[in-house]
Amino acid sequence: MKKLIKEYRSFFEKNNIHSIVEKNNQKILEPNFWKDKNSAQKIIKEKNFYEDLLKSYQNSKKEIKDLSDLYDLAIEENNQIIIKELVKNCNELKTKSKKNEIKCFLSNESDILDCYIEIHAGAGGTESQDWAEMLKRMYLKWAQNKKYKSSIISEHRGDEAGIKSTIFQIHGDYLYGWLKSESGIHRLVRISPFDSGARRHTSFASVWVYPIIDDSIEIEIKDKDLRIDTYRSSGAGGQHVNTTDSAVRITHLPTKIVVQCQNERSQHKNKETCIKMLKARLYDFELKKKEKEAESLESDKTDIGWGHQIRSYVLHPYRLVKDNRTNYESSDPDKVLEGDIDTFLESSLYN
């Protein structure tokens, strides 16, 4: 436990957390603080995050001192009942401290931002399209369990079942920091519900997570670098949506990044959403280049298949979910597919 507290102290000193909290407190007192709503909300979110960490750190130090004093007293009196209770309390404190230690990894500038999640079915028709919809449901259930807000931006349904692709956004605390490690190829092995011969099938789908940037981050986009296409929305929405070219697709020619939106009836609103998404993609594109996590987003997307998966979900002949980067495993895939992915997210932060 004392080792954990020492690590906390090192983190706070290295990142100058006390100064960050004090600086944000001063900003909130400025007369024009609420003039820029987006900037104000970002500062408050950051302030609350670091204040919670500091409070937890201070409480942990106090609890350790109290437990240590009680333990010395219990040893002196040879009170085994109290000693067992103190061991239990220490384990609970260690669990709580570990959770806060994980939060210490969410200190990058972009981690505080909300995020987009983009899912594409791999080759395999209905099988992969159904798997893509299962992944969509998993992330939306995770967000729902956390009380986070989510909304669909664009979606293309499969011909028989599932989805060919979907893009949705989630708003909450430090979402990009938590979910950025989910980007990659996800593999499913199961007995196919679409195969009359009940044979085992392997399906793939890609997941790409990128941050929703706010107005304080300037991204320059030149008109000559864009190709803008309009088309009819394929989603639900009534007669108007299905008979007008309200859906918008924008291609950024230098990077070949493509974004699309069809959730609004207005072509103008869909174009506005596309521009926001494109800025987010370009921002994430540069982040990943700087971090040397990938040569580019598009090069990562070249093959949705064997040898590229970051995580495998096996439902037959055995039941196991395994992350191929951290080697973390769960023997309860049903629970994972219902949105219980916190342990996988935490193991990725440690890795």
| Residue entry with tokens 């989910």 | 182
Contact between 217 and 39 under an 8 Å Cβ cutoff? The reply is: no
Identify the pLDDT of residue 74.
85
Number of neighbours of residue 17 by Cβ within 10 angstroms: 20
Burial 246-265 (b: 16+ CB within 10 A, else e): bbbbbbbeebebbbbbbbbe
How far apart, in whole angstroms, are the C-alpha atoms of residue 83 and residue 33?
A: 52
Residue 29 main-chain phi, psi, to 5 deg: -80, -10
| 186 touches 310 (CB < 8 A) | yes
- Which amino acid is residue 80, in one-letter code? Q
Average pLDDT over residues 229-240: 63
The answer, yes or no, to whether residue 242 has pLDDT greater than 70, is no
pLDDT band of 166, cuts 50, 70, 90: very high
Report the C-alpha gap between 24 and 121 in whole angstroms.
43
Please say whether the dihedral angle defined by the alpha carbons of residues 227, 258, 287 and 167, taken in this order, is positive or negative. Answer: positive
Mention every residue, 6+ apart, whose C-beta is less than 8 A from residue 164. Answer: 120, 121, 129, 132, 156, 157, 158
Please determine, for residue 240, whether its predicted confidence score (pLDDT) is greater than 50: no
Whole-angstrom distance, CA of residue 294 vs CA of residue 218: 23
Determine the pLDDT at residue 305.
55
- In this structure, the chain runs to a length of 351
Which of 44-48, 150-154, 288-292, 300-304 tops mean pLDDT? 150-154
Q: Does an H or E element contain 164, and which?
A: strand 163-171
Domains of the chain, start order: 2-103 (1.20.58.410), 113-350 (3.30.70.1660)
Return the structure tokens found at 12. Answer: 């706070």
How far apart (Å, rounded) are the C-alpha atoms in residues 115 and 280? 9
Question: What pLDDT, on a 0 to 100 scale, did the predictor assign at position 225?
Answer: 93
Q: What is the DSSP letter of 245?
A: -
Start-to-end C-alpha separation, the chain: 21
Q: Is the pTM of this model over 0.75?
A: no
Quickly state the pLDDT bin for 21 (edges 50, 70, 90).
Answer: low
Return the top range by mean pLDDT from 157-161, 195-199, 296-300: 157-161
Assign 127 a pLDDT band (cuts: 50, 70, 90). Answer: very high
pLDDT at 103: 72
